[in-house]
Structures are given as structure tokens and as C-alpha cells.
Amino acid sequence: MHSKLKEFNKLIKLMEILRGENGCPWDKKQTHKTILPYLLEEAYELIDAFNKNKKEEIIEELGDLLLQVIFHSQIAKEKGKFDIYDVLKNLNEKLIKRHPHVFADKKGLKKDWHVRAFWEKEKKIEKKRTSILDGVPSALPSLLRARRLISKARSTGFYWHKEKSIINKIKEELSEVIDALNKKRQKELKEEIGDLLFAIAALAYYNGIDPENALHLTNNKFIKRFKKIENKLNSELNEKAILKLWEKSKK
């Protein structure tokens, strides 16, 4: 265990050196703001690695994501604000506090949704939020944000109890999309498409599927199939011919 802890402390030291007087010019000039885009990029690369289910890539991408945490902590340390050990201390305390059914005597949280409801209630009090939905970042990708909003709302008891109810809602929203199309109401169409996507996100959540990840996989599938027929496409092909090529790409 001690030798493994050495690797963690070695990483912290390496970042100190890279940011130090004789360190890397690029690393030295970075700020919280300039490296924030890399945090999101590394998170998506990690998702890709998990989707490929390749151990070596997962290890590498987890390391890259961890590096972002170390990087931000080192910058904060230099400003005299906090360091990585403050981050770890805060995380440990939060894990213990939010799992009283494990670390304390609150044994009533027997199901996963009981735990989720407890977490959300505690976070609302702790962070002085007026609504349980306030903790969902507006900067999240919209499908991911929809899933988080649905998840948060569920912890209060607000959710569809039957899958059939969600499917009926999807049919309702689709009919409203078609109606807006027929009436050529662009503003209304935009709103109705949004409603339809939200209902589909709810169906995904109901079945334990992350809609953002599901669409990510479909995007990759589209790229793979499109590349198979790309060289055969031209502006003179009609829709029927294009669909025929597309069906062949699936095989």
C-alpha cells in the first residue's frame, strides 16, 4: 500500500516541478481558465475508452483525467488557496456524511432511490439551494442535463411510474412536432422538438440508459456506416437510391 501511495505523491511532485522555475514553459503559463476545456475533453476521451472496453486506454484516460485534478490543485496551491490534500479531505468527509447508512446508524436507506433522495435533500440544505434542480450545471450537454434534471426530480417523487406513460408522452410530443411542421410554425417546432427529446431522455433514464451516451454511440455508428457509402454518393442520386445504399451499409 505504501509503495502505491508513493506513485500518487510522485505525481504531485512532478506537477510541482513542471510548474516550477525550471519547469515546462507551457505548463507554467496555464491558469484555471485556460485548462478547463481539457477537463471536458479528457472526460469524453474516457467515455470513449469505456465504450471500446480497452483496459489500456481506460487506464491511460483515467490518468489524464486525474492529471486535470492535480493540475488545478497545484495552481490553487500556488495562489495560497488550497492543495490536493484539501480536495481529498473534503471528499472523504462528504462520502462519510452522505452515507450514514454505511458509516453511521441511519439504517432506513435500504434502496438505491432512498439513498438518492437522501443525498439530494442533504445537498439542498448544505448548499442553501431554493430548488433541488439548482445543482444541475447549465453548461452540461443538453441531453445529459435532461437526464440529471429527470434524476433530481425523481428523488422528490416526481416521475413516471410506468414505462407505458412515457411512451404515450413520446407519441403525444411527436404528434405535436408533426402538427407544427404542417402549420409551418418554426418557433413552435423548435419547442416541440425539444419536448420530444426530453421525453425520449426520460424513457432512456427509466431504462437505466444515459441518453447522451446512447446518442454518442449512434453518432459513431452513423460515421462508420456513412464512410462505407461516401464514395458512392453524388447529388444526382434520388432518395430511394440513397436509402438502398444505406441499408447495404448496415450489413
Domains of the chain, each with CATH number or no CATH: 2-97 (1.10.287.1080), 110-250 (1.10.287.1080)
pLDDT reported for residue 108: 61
CA angle 141, 146, 152 (to 5 degrees): 125
pLDDT reported for residue 110: 62
Distance in Å from the first CA to the final CA of the chain: 50
Quote the CA–CA distance of 29 and 199 in Å, as a whole number: 45
Say how many C-beta atoms besides its own lie within 10 A of residue 159's C-beta. Answer: 16
Query: What's the grid cell of residue 198?
Result: 426530453
Q: pLDDT (tens digit, 0 to 9) for every residue of the chain, 251 residues total? A: 577 889 999 999 999 999 999 999 999 999 999 999 899 889 889 988 998 899 999 999 999 999 999 999 999 999 999 999 999 999 999 888 878 878 777 666 666 666 767 777 777 777 787 888 888 888 888 998 999 999 888 878 888 888 999 999 999 999 999 999 999 999 999 999 999 999 999 999 999 898 988 998 899 899 999 999 998 888 788 899 899 888 888 87
Answer whether 42's CB lies under 8 Å from 64's CB. Answer: yes
Query: What's the grid cell of residue 161?
Result: 411510474
Answer whether 201's CB lies under 8 Å from 150's CB. Answer: yes
- Can you give the pTM of this predicted structure? 0.64
Say how many C-beta atoms besides its own lie within 10 A of residue 46's C-beta. Answer: 18
Query: What's the grid cell of residue 37?
Result: 476545456
Answer whether 248's CB lies under 8 Å from 229's CB. Answer: yes
Answer whether 104's CB lies under 8 Å from 85's CB. Answer: no
* Maximum alpha-carbon separation in the chain: 72
pLDDT reported for residue 112: 66
Quote the CA–CA distance of 50 and 68 in Å, as a whole number: 19
